[in-house]
């Protein structure tokens, strides 16, 4: 992942950059790191990478081992999700970066950005309405 820190070709999302262009560049960066499934849960050919679910708690040794396995899986998932989160954050102009929120997943960050910057069918009408202001 170190190569991304010096990646001057990364497309930064800002006011004059098309969301679709930025999103395509982001997918490429995530694919390079094997992280597409952390952000895009519906991408053809890529398995969704959701956080593992904790096993039901009990006092048995078998369940204790299951919980240890869960913790190992959660650690791996969290590390990769933080990498994906960082890739997204580095591709956002400081003016549109959200305030720090350590509880947010990479997918939640992307979905929030998409909901505020993705073009919608209503956009052309907004431009027309500006003509009458």
Q: Which residues pair with 92 in a beta bridge?
A: 13
Q: What is the pLDDT of residue 62?
A: 66
Count each helix (H run) and each strand (E run) in the chain, helices first.
6, 0
pLDDT number for residue 102: 66
Helix (H, G, I), strand (E, B) or coil at 13: strand
pLDDT tier for residue 7 given thresholds of 50, 70 and 90: low
In tens, the pLDDT along 67-87 reads 899 999 999 999 999 999 999
- Output phi, psi for 29, to 5 deg: -65, -40
Q: Which of 20-24, 28-32, 126-130 has the lowest mean pLDDT?
A: 126-130
pLDDT at 2: 41
In angstroms, rounded to a whole number, what is the distance separating the alpha carbons of residues 95 and 28?
Answer: 23
**Tens digits of per-residue pLDDT, 87-131?**
999 999 999 988 876 669 999 999 999 998 877 544 454 554 555
Main-chain dihedrals φ then ψ at residue 7, nearest 5 degrees: -80, 95
**Position 10 confidence tier, pLDDT thresholds 50, 70, 90:** very high
pLDDT at 1 over 50: no
Look at 133 and 32; give whichever has higher pLDDT. Answer: 32
């Amino acid at each position: 992942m170190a190569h991304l820190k010096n990646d001057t070709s990364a497309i930064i999302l800002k006011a004059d950059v098309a969301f679709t262009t930025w999103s395509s560049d982001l997918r490429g960066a995530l694919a390079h790191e094997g992280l597409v499934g952390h952000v895009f849960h519906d991408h053809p050919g890529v398995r969704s990478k959701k956080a593992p679910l904790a096993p039901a708690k009990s006092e048995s040794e078998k369940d204790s081992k299951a919980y240890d396995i869960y913790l190992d899986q959660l650690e791996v998932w969290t590390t990769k999700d933080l990498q994906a989160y960082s890739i997204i954050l580095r591709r956002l102009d400081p003016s549109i970066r959200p305030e720090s929120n350590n509880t947010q997943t990479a997918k939640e960050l992307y979905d929030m950005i998409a909901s505020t910057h993705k073009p919608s069918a209503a956009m052309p009408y907004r431009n027309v309405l500006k003509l009458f202001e």
